Each structure stands twice: as C-alpha cells, then as structure tokens.
Amino acid sequence: MKRILKDYPSVSLKPEDLVGRLDFGDVFGRDCPVHIEVGAGKGTFLLNQAKVAGNVNFLGIEWARKYYLYAVDRIGRWGLGNVRIIRTDAAFFIAEHVADESVECFHVYFPDPWPKKRHHKRRFVSPANLEQVLRCLKTGGQLRIATDHAEYFEVIAEVVRGRSDKLEEIEFILAAGAEAGEITGTNYERKYIKDKREILTIAARVRPDFPAANFSVSF
C-alpha cells in the first residue's frame, strides 16, 4: 500500500508566507543555534541530527517536490519540534531570507553536480553563493560539504580555499546518523557507497579574527 504523505504545518515553511529576512527565533519559537541543510532530500540527515541535538534548530531546503513532501511527513511523524523544511531555490532563499550572521553551520551534502559544462552555472557551490553563505555565518560558524563527483569537488575546494582570508579548513565531523564507513549518513551517500564511489569532503569555519564590519556583499 502506497504511503500517504501528510503535510505538517509545524514543520513546513511556505515561501509565499516569507517577507524579508527571517527571525529564526520567531520561526522556531525559541532562540537556539541554527543549522541549514542545502538539499535536504528525504530528511535523513535532518532527522538523525535533530534527534541527538535538541538544542539546535535545523532548517532544510529542498527543491524536489517529492522529496520535500516525504521529508515533511517523516519529520512530522517523529514529532520533532526543532526542524523546519521549505521547498524553494536554496540560493534565492539564502540571499533573500537569511539574516546576516544568523547561522552556525551550513550543510551541503551531495549537491547536484550539473556535469554538463553548459549547466555549471546552476551549481550551488559558486563564488557568488559562497559570499552569501559567509554573510549569513556567525564568527566561528562552519560550512561542511560532501560530494561523490571528483571534478565538482575540485571546483568546490577551489571556491572555499579562495576565501582563506575568512575561512580556515577544519576536520569534517561525522554526522550523527553515519554508520560504519559513512560520513554523512544520507540516502545519497549510501547509494554511492554501494556503487563504490569515493566520497570527498571539505569543512571550514569563519576565522575568529575576521572583523564582520569589514565584510559585505554587493550585487
């Protein structure tokens, strides 16, 4: 029997209801550190992290409607109050709705590599999007990225290391749901491990000596 997916208003955020930069305290009904996952998929990472880190607010962004609906239903069934999920374009959402220095960590796991050269402009990890991520991160805030695509990883590493003035590389922390041999514990990672693909990661944090007043984003 096909599973009936239910919408949980306590979990799902509607793009049409958003105006300007969000106050995460209002979104979650409490003031706690905020983690954002770009490309939440079916919510596996969010579910496992939220269960063990009750003192953290998690926001998942997912564009694919079928995965978004599944993730909302999944989180809702677990009754987790520290997770919100929105179906929207991640780059637009971050630029328009995430306030300066409001996020503790961005998780970007297995973003679409858009392998054809003419589609590279659609890739999430780019210099322009990184500038928005840096604007949103607090001092000491982290960026964690994982991919199975070697060529895209080279680009990702170049983009991240290109802002070594503000970012310092750190050890990639295993996710709470990662099982033996895994790093992020996501559905995509498990599929790629079965296919014997190498999982590549990079993690960095905002340097504590970087003055926020000297950082701005212009369009």
Q: What percent of the chain lies above the pLDDT cut of 90?
A: 93
Nearest-Å Rg of the Cα atoms of the chain is 17
* Structure tokens, 17: 């209801």
Q: What is the mean pLDDT of residues 97-123?
A: 97
Active site residue 100: no
* Structure tokens, 15: 């793009």
Q: Is 213 a residue whose pLDDT tops 70?
A: no
Q: Any bridge partners for residue 37, and if so which?
A: 60, 107
Q: What is the pLDDT of residue 215?
A: 43
Active-site entry in 89, 100, 112, 148: 112
Quickly list H helices, the chain. Answer: 24-28, 44-52, 65-78, 90-97, 127-136, 150-161, 187-194
- Please tell me the total number of residues recorded for the chain in this structure: 219
- CATH code of the domain occupying 12-209: 3.40.50.150
CA nearest 42: which of 166, 189, 151, 157?
189
CA nearest 36: which of 155, 124, 152?
124
pTM of the model: 0.93
Dump the DSSP string for 101-151: T-EEEEEEES-----SGGGGGG-S-SHHHHHHHHHHEEEEEEEEEEES-HH
Q: What is the pLDDT of residue 55?
A: 97
Helix and strand totals (H; E) in the chain? 7, 8
Hey, where are the domains in the chain?
A: 12-209
CA nearest 146: which of 103, 204, 189?
189
Convert 55-75 to b/e letters by CB count within 10 Å (16 or more is b).
ebbbbbbbbeeebbbbbbbbb
pLDDT tens profile 38-87? 999 999 999 999 999 999 999 999 999 999 999 999 999 999 999 999 99
Quickly list H helices, 79-176. Answer: 90-97, 127-136, 150-161
Q: What is the pLDDT of residue 1?
A: 62
pLDDT tens profile 155-212? 999 999 999 999 999 999 999 999 999 999 999 999 999 999 999 999 999 998 765 5
What's the first-to-final CA gap in the chain, in angstroms?
A: 50
- C-alpha 44/C-alpha 123 separation (Å) is 22
